[in-house]
Amino acid sequence: MNSFLKGNMLSSTRIFCLKGIKCLKDMLKRMRPTANTRTSTLKMYIIQQKLSSFFHPICACLIILFTICGFIWITYLYKKETIETFSKDPHHLDPTRLFQTSMTENVNVKIINTLERQEGEDRQYNSSEIHYTSKTNGYSADSFTRQTNADVRMAKRPEVINIGIQKCGTGALNAYLNIHPNLKVMKTEVHFFDKLINHKRPFKEELKRYIKMLPRAFPNETIFEKTPAYFDLADPYDLHRMNPALKLILLVCDPVRRAVSAYVHNKAHGRYSKDKSYEDIIFDKDGYINTTEEVIIRSRYDKPLERYLKYFPRSQFLIMENTFLMSQPTLAMQEIEKFLGLKKFYTNETFYFHKSVGYYCINPSIQRDNAGCLGRNKYRFHPYVSEENILKLKHFFQPINDNFMKLAGKKFPSLMYF
């Protein structure tokens, strides 16, 4: 803006203000009371004085200035928020997606509760969906869904969950799945079925609460969540009544290595005192394995799988070795794609081997953050454990692993020590 224009604007604002004040002063003068009592005249005089000092030219200019600044600031904040909303959307680079997001922005949540009770004691809930109807276009929920089906984001139940196993590479799998265009991945662990669920409340209500915690997805997107604690700390019955057709991904890894990884993890979270070594935790004074220790209990895979198989058939499971995901991520992810019926996305270009990290990372052209690698808490140094102690642990876990493989109907080399 040039100085001439600025000067003109200022002087006209000043004239405008002065005229306004003069007008107000005249008004107040005319309003001067002719009351008989002294007190009422005095009161009116005080009010008039206050008002005229309030409408002092400088005061008035400042008020106008603040109002203008406030307006500019609110407009700036609104625009900033809109831009941030779009840039957080993983599809923000796709202009058609941008349009879809803005179309569904003003949605009116209408929970169509179609939870159905099935016959018998074993309650199963079949089709819980939350539909969003557009306020702006005037269509009814159904007609809108029919006309522009791909534009509506819905809250729905997950069709697949990575239930574990803790410390077996579930974070890497989550990151790899997050880049698939047809998956809506929950970035953090929900811990609903192992911690948050309240069994004293009706399951129907709890299910609604759970679904609200998950991201909304387009009809062509599958909701995915991972909480490794579900494998051994959740009741599979709850997952089954949430979605009987639920697909379950289970990553397995060598229980001996897993126990060390869990020890390092727990120590990093301050669950053990600093002076406690791995041996102090795992073995008792006589050198026997401390079978009541959490890191040992959670390395026993057979019992939790047995519990799950009571509710879900084997065909709904994909049990994969972490070593496979770690060494051949493209093949591993293609197998998962097939299992979930997703369109092909992963190729040899999706991943690259990061030498200093020592793992495969996502090609930075797909994911720029952290050069496509996981955070530092996913690559921790393990303490030295003597050969003798490792052998003791292997002997302890072998029969448990055999039982697990029998239940899984599959052999896993990393669970076969001898």
User: Which residues line the annotated binding site for 3'-phosphoadenylyl sulfate?
Assistant: 261, 360, 378-382
Residue with smaller CB distance to ligand PPS, 219 or 364? 364
Q: Which of 161, 122, 128, 160 is nearest to 311 (CA)?
A: 122
User: How near is the Cβ of 73 to ligand PPS at its closest, in Å?
Assistant: 42
Residue with smaller CB distance to ligand PPS, 141 or 326? 326
Residue with smaller CB distance to ligand PPS, 163 or 340? 163
Work out whether 204 is an interface residue with ligand PPS (CB under 6 A): no
Residue with smaller CB distance to ligand PPS, 54 or 353? 353
Angle at 376 between CA 375 and CA 380, to 5 degrees: 135
The residue annotated as part of the active site, out of 19, 29, 167, 394, is 167
Work out whether 172 is an interface residue with ligand PPS (CB under 6 A): yes
Work out whether 320 is an interface residue with ligand PPS (CB under 6 A): no
Output the residue with the shortest Cβ distance to ligand PPS.
Answer: 171
The contacts of residue 274 (CB under 8 Å, 6+ apart) are 267
What secondary structure letter does DSSP report for 376? G
Contact between 282 and 296 under an 8 Å Cβ cutoff? The reply is yes
Residue with smaller CB distance to ligand PPS, 98 or 371? 371
Work out whether 255 is an interface residue with ligand PPS (CB under 6 A): no
Burial label for 11, CB within 10 Å (0-12, 13-18, 19+), is: exposed
3-state SS string for 204-258 = HHHHHHHHHHCCCECCCCEEEEECCCHHHHCCHHHHHHHCCCCEEEEEECCHHHH
Contact between 244 and 365 under an 8 Å Cβ cutoff? The reply is no
Work out whether 401 is an interface residue with ligand PPS (CB under 6 A): no
Return d(Cα 406, Cα 412) in angstroms, integer: 11
Catalytic status, residue 204: no
Which of 160, 185, 281, 325 contacts ligand PPS by CB under 6 A? 325
Work out whether 187 is an interface residue with ligand PPS (CB under 6 A): no
**DSSP string of 91-105, one letter each residue:** TTTSHHHHHHHHHTS
Binding segment (CB under 6 A) for ligand PPS, from list 79-87, 199-207, 241-249, 259-267: 259-267
x/- contact string, 353-392, with ligand PPS (CB under 6 A)? Answer: ------xx-------------x---xxx------------
Binding segment (CB under 6 A) for ligand PPS, from list 20-28, 95-103, 160-168, 386-394: 160-168
Q: Which residues pair with 107 in a beta bridge?
A: 134
User: Which residues are designated catalytic?
Assistant: 167
